[in-house]
Structure 1
Amino acid sequence: MTDAPSTAVLFDIDGTLVDSNYAHVDAWWRAFRVTGQSVDAWRIHRLIGMDASRLLDELVPDMSDEDRDTAKQYQAAYFAEHMPRLRLLPGARELLEAVASRGHAVVLATSAPENELVRLRELLDAEQWISVVTSGEDVEEAKPAPDIVQVALDRAGVEPGNAVMIGDAMWDVETSVKVGVVCISVMTGGVGGDELRNAGAAAVYDDAAAVLADIDDGPIGALGR
């Protein structure tokens, strides 16, 4: 019986491994219209990856509880329409394999709901390399609250100083900083490199393929040294 890894790489999925952020934008935009709200798509995009309740607080603070629930339900339904068309981002699956081959635990640290997570895992087709998975059912509040990263670390049995997080959003960086985990950012979610660095990202890459190309010389390569 082999010992469990003492190091881990935590992966956000939406916008990091799977090209889904703009599908989320479209789903929210359409959901707001159902409830009589007009919210510009760029404002929605700025908050993708944030906890849904916080997103609603930011974009439509005066919305009634009933309309908030309606918006969430329609967003989920509209995003489900996109799921058959989602695709992996460049290097996503190869990066998971490379991380596992170097002896690190591969952790999917996402707060996606279970029904979406099933589709995302099918796309990744990487179960043989994945050690730990989280979902929205594991926490009461998603990013930028630190809960999901802490749950991921606890399940992996890894200390914050022995982990690296990879994400595409400001919220991934903020969450990691709160917990004490080094964060690598990719720009496949549509957020600029300067913003991600200013938020505290230790390194910024175009996409997962670029992280893979630098895997031994970047923050992942420093794990366990």
Structure 2
Amino acid sequence: MEPNPQGYEAAMADAVLLDVDGTLVDTVYLHVAAWQQAFLEHDVVVPGVSVHAAIGMGGDRLVGWVAGDEVEERLGDPLRERWEELFDTMLDRIRPTNGAAALVRTLKGRGLRVGLPSSGKDKHLAAARKQLDVDDCIDAIATTDDVDSSKPDDDLLQLTADKIGSRDPVLVGDAPWDAAAAQKAGIPVILVRTGGFSDAALREQATPDVVIVDDPAELLRRLDETPLV
């Protein structure tokens, strides 16, 4: 993906990059519960609100951001391993967010290429894809297992866009970290509230004209007001 020399507001989208956790599937608070339990089992007490604020960045960054560099250095890998084990037990609780599958199918029907850049593990993404049942609409997938640096860096977005041959993608996400990654990549972002973040938190990392909607169903109704028109 190359930067648009005219600025992304002047470009017509040729693809959509859809974040998965919190955007297409309702998993944010499952992740919060798994991370908080992992911290507690390692005698690290962190507020749930702090864990929630970090959801959307890669697990390689989350421990240090939530609990500090000393905890990351001492317990980072065991914490990530335990989070993964705990989240594995919750996969049967994954459900799509309101309107998620219909949004994906509509965007594909409009001729957009569709990519899934996910901060999750491959097996967790597989469980989400099973619930969404839209694999026939997906052109490319990338996870943090495929890149060196996770959100809020833009590596994941760049890789997904490159996989689908997109020069002018639009990201749909649910977290401030999605907005930050989109800013670094120089692409527009649409944000949904299904991740549980306030509008103020979402706007902190986004451009002033960012579109924020309740869920994929509202985005579907308002597509013509967005860069995905």
TM-score exceeds 0.5: yes
Q: CA deviation at 1:111?
A: 2.4
Q: CA deviation at 1:64?
A: 5.7
Q: CA deviation at 1:66?
A: 4.8
Distance in 2 (CA, whole Å) between partners of 1:67 and 1:180 is: 35
Is there any run of 5+ residues in structure 2 with no aligned partner, and where? 1-12
Alignment correspondent of 2:170 = 164
Alignment correspondent of 1:31 = 38
Q: CA deviation at 1:194?
A: 2.5
Distance in 2 (CA, whole Å) between partners of 1:143 and 1:48 is: 10
Distance in 2 (CA, whole Å) between partners of 1:129 and 1:17 is: 14
Identity of aligned residues (%): 33
- The answer (yes or no) to whether the contact 1:90–1:209 under 8 Å persists in 2 is yes
1:96-175 correspondence runs (5 A): 96-159=104-167, 162-175=168-181
Distance in 1 (CA, whole Å) between partners of 2:166 and 2:110 is: 16
Q: What TM-score results when the alignment is normalised by the length of structure 1?
A: 0.91
Q: Which amino acid aligns with 2:38?
A: A
Alignment correspondent of 1:186 = 192
Distance in 2 (CA, whole Å) between partners of 1:158 and 1:27 is: 35
Q: CA deviation at 1:169?
A: 0.4
User: Displaced runs of 4+ in structure 1, greater than 6 A?
Assistant: none
TM-aligned CA distance change 1:107 to 1:31, over 3 Å: same
- The answer (yes or no) to whether the contact 1:197–1:203 under 8 Å persists in 2 is no
* Among candidates 19, 24, 29, match of residue 17 of structure 1: 24
Alignment correspondent of 2:61 = 54
Q: What TM-score results when the alignment is normalised by the length of structure 2?
A: 0.90
Q: CA deviation at 1:216?
A: 2.2
Q: CA RMSD in A?
A: 1.3
Q: Which amino acid aligns with 1:130?
A: I
